[in-house]
C-alpha cells in the first residue's frame, strides 16, 4: 500500500470518528431541547385559541392573595378611550367549554353578576373583579343599554390577576344633528385601535370599485370627497352622502400609512345610512 492510500485511509477513519462524535452531541442537544419544549408547552397551554383570550399584561402590583392554589382572580374592563371606562354595565361570569357552549351556567362566586366596577387597579383603572374563582375556562358577558360585549378567559397561574378587556363605543356617541344619515350615506368614526381614542383631522376618502377591473378602487364621485374627520364634540366622525349603488371602501390616511376598510356593498335597498367604523 502506497503512502497516498495510507493517508486516505487515515483521513477516512478520522472523518468517521468526528461525525460520530457530532451525532452523539446532536442527539444529546436534541433531547435537551425536546424536554424544554415539552415543559414550556405544558406550562403555557391554556386550551384557548388566541382570538378568545384577550388578556392584557398582568399589572406588577397585582399579587393574588388567595390561599388556595386552585383559586384566582379575574379582572374585566370595558374601555372606550384612554382612561375612559364603562363602569355601570351588568357583567356575568359563566363557566365555559366547547362542549357546554350552549348550556352556560353562572359561576357560584360572590357578586356574580356584577352591576358596577368594584375595584380600582391604580393606573390601570376601574375593573369588574371576580375573586376566589376556580381555575378553568370562562365566558364573560356584559351588557349596558342594549349594547353587549363578550370575552373569553382562561384562568390559571399565568393569568391570575390579569386584566381581560374589551373595547366599546363611547356611550355618549351621537351623529351631529346637522347630518342627514339616510340610506344614501356612509358614515362612522375613526379611532386608535390601541388607546380606543377617537381621532380628529384625518383625511378620509371614499373609494368605489371599478366596474371594469374589480381589483381596483378609485375615488368616488360624491360631494366632499375626500373629507376630514371632525373634532370635538363629534371627534372622529365622518360621512359621505349622495351615494349610488356599488361597492365601496373607506380609506383613512394617517402619518406614514393608509388604512382601507373592508368592502361595503350599497344596493339601494338600505333603509338608513351604512355605518362603517374604522380602527387604525
Over 90: is that where the pLDDT of 250 sits?
yes
Examine domains 50-167 and 186-279 and report if their fold is the same.
Answer: yes
Cα distance between residue 249 and residue 232, in whole Å: 25
Over 90: is that where the pLDDT of 4 sits?
no
The enclosing H or E element of 275 equals strand 274-275
Cα distance between residue 208 and residue 201, in whole Å: 22
> Which CATH number is 186-279's, of 3.40.50.300, 3.40.630.20, 2.60.40.1120, 3.40.50.2000?
2.60.40.1120
Cα distance between residue 268 and residue 37, in whole Å: 56
Structure confidence at residue 98 (pLDDT): 80
Q: What is the mean pLDDT of residues 214-239?
A: 94
Q: List the grid coordinates of 242.
A: 349622495
Q: What is the mean pLDDT of residues 260-272?
A: 91
On whether the pTM is more than 0.85, the answer is: no
The enclosing H or E element of 273 equals none
Contact yes or no for 234/270 (Cβ under 8 A): no
Q: How confident is the model at residue 119 (pLDDT cuts 50, 70, 90)?
A: very high
pLDDT tens digit sequence for 135-163:
999 999 999 998 899 999 999 999 999 99
Cα distance between residue 40 and residue 54, in whole Å: 21
Mean pLDDT of the chain: 79
Domain boundaries, the chain: 50-167, 186-279
Q: How confident is the model at residue 126 (pLDDT cuts 50, 70, 90)?
A: very high
CATH code given to domain 50-167: 2.60.40.10
Q: How confident is the model at residue 196 (pLDDT cuts 50, 70, 90)?
A: confident
| Alpha carbon distances (Å) from 17 to 10, 13, 14, 20 | 11, 6, 5, 5
Question: How many CB atoms lie under 10 A from the CB of residue 255?
Answer: 5
Q: List the grid coordinates of 237.
A: 366622525
Over 60: is that where the pLDDT of 62 sits?
no
The enclosing H or E element of 221 equals none
CB-based contacts of 164, cutoff 8 Å, min separation 6:
53, 54, 55, 56, 74, 75, 76, 77, 140, 151, 153
Amino acid at each position: 500500500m502506497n503512502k497516498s492510500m495510507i493517508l486516505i485511509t487515515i483521513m477516512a477513519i478520522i472523518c468517521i470518528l468526528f461525525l460520530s462524535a457530532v451525532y452523539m452531541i446532536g442527539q444529546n442537544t436534541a433531547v435537551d431541547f425536546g424536554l424544554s419544549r415539552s415543559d414550556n408547552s405544558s406550562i403555557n397551554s391554556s386550551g384557548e385559541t388566541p382570538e378568545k383570550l384577550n388578556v392584557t399584561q398582568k399589572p406588577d402590583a397585582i399579587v393574588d392573595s388567595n390561599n388556595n392554589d386552585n383559586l384566582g382572580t379575574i379582572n374585566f374592563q370595558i374601555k372606550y378611550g384612554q382612561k375612559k371606562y364603562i363602569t355601570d354595565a351588568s357583567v356575568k361570569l359563566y363557566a365555559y367549554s366547547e362542549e357546554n357552549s350552549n348550556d352556560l351556567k353562572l359561576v357560584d362566586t360572590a357578586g356574580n353578576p356584577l352591576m358596577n366596577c368594584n375595584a380600582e387597579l391604580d393606573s390601570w383603572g376601574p375593573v369588574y373583579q371576580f375573586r376566589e374563582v376556580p381555575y378553568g375556562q370562562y365566558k364573560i358577558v356584559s351588557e349596558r343599554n342594549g349594547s353587549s360585549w363578550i370575552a373569553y378567559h382562561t384562568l390559571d397561574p399565568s393569568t391570575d390577576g390579569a386584566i381581560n378587556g374589551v373595547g366599546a363605543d363611547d356611550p355618549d356617541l351621537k351623529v351631529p344633528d346637522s347630518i342627514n344619515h339616510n340610506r344614501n350615506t356612509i358614515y362612522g368614526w375613526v379611532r386608535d385601535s390601541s388607546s380606543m381614542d377617537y381621532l380628529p383631522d384625518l383625511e378620509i376618502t371614499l373609494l368605489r370599485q371599478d366596474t371594469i377591473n374589480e381589483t381596483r378602487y378609485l375615488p368616488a364621485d360624491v360631494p366632499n370627497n375626500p373629507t376630514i374627520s371632525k373634532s370635538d364634540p363629534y371627534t372622529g366622525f365622518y360621512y359621505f352622502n349622495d351615494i349610488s349603488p356599488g361597492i365601496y371602501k373607506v380609506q383613512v390616511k394617517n402619518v406614514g400609512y393608509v388604512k382601507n376598510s373592508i368592502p361595503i356593498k350599497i344596493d339601494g335597498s338600505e333603509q338608513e345610512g351604512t355605518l362603517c367604523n374604522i380602527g387604525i
